[in-house]
Amino acid sequence: MECMEISLEGLNIYARHGVMEQERKVGNRFVVDISLSYPPALEAARTDTLDSTINYAELAAIIKETMETPSFLLENVALRIRQAVMSRWPETSAGKITVRKPAAPIGGFRTDGGPSVTLSW
């Protein structure tokens, strides 16, 4: 089956996720990448209309809204993003979400990329 892949990369979102109380109080910068396989987007390619595809602005808004609810784990954040996306676009046949915390407080270390979690389906 033919399918379009729709991606948003490098969404910088300030949120309050983490196990440490300070992370949940002060917050941190997170970076979200998402890629979705969406068969109906082929129709959008043929007709050049937004109605048959995933609106990037709406996708970004859903991710931002989901990130507003604090979580202890990045795994939970990724799962909740997937649930919100699938609720809005159930025709999505596959996807991949990566959530990174570039400035994670890892005792005694400075990281360039920080920890990340990737959820694929």
What average pLDDT score do residues 91-98 get? Answer: 97
What is the band of 111 on the pLDDT scale with cuts at 50, 70, 90?
low
pTM given for the model: 0.92
DSSP letters of 26-76?
A: H-EEEEEEEEEEETTHHHHHHHT-GGGS--HHHHHHHHHHHHTS--S-HHH
Domain CATH number, residue 77: 3.30.1130.10
Question: Which position among 25, 64, 96, 101 bears the catalytic label?
Answer: 101
Angle, alpha carbons 71-76-79 (nearest 5°): 140
In three-state secondary structure terms, 101 is coil
Catalytic-residue membership of 101: yes
Q: What mean pLDDT is reported for the chain?
A: 93
**Tens of pLDDT along 24-42?**
999 999 999 999 999 999 8
> Per the structure, how many domains does the chain have?
1
Show the domain range for 103.
4-120
Residue 16: what pLDDT?
A: 97
Residue 19: what pLDDT?
A: 93
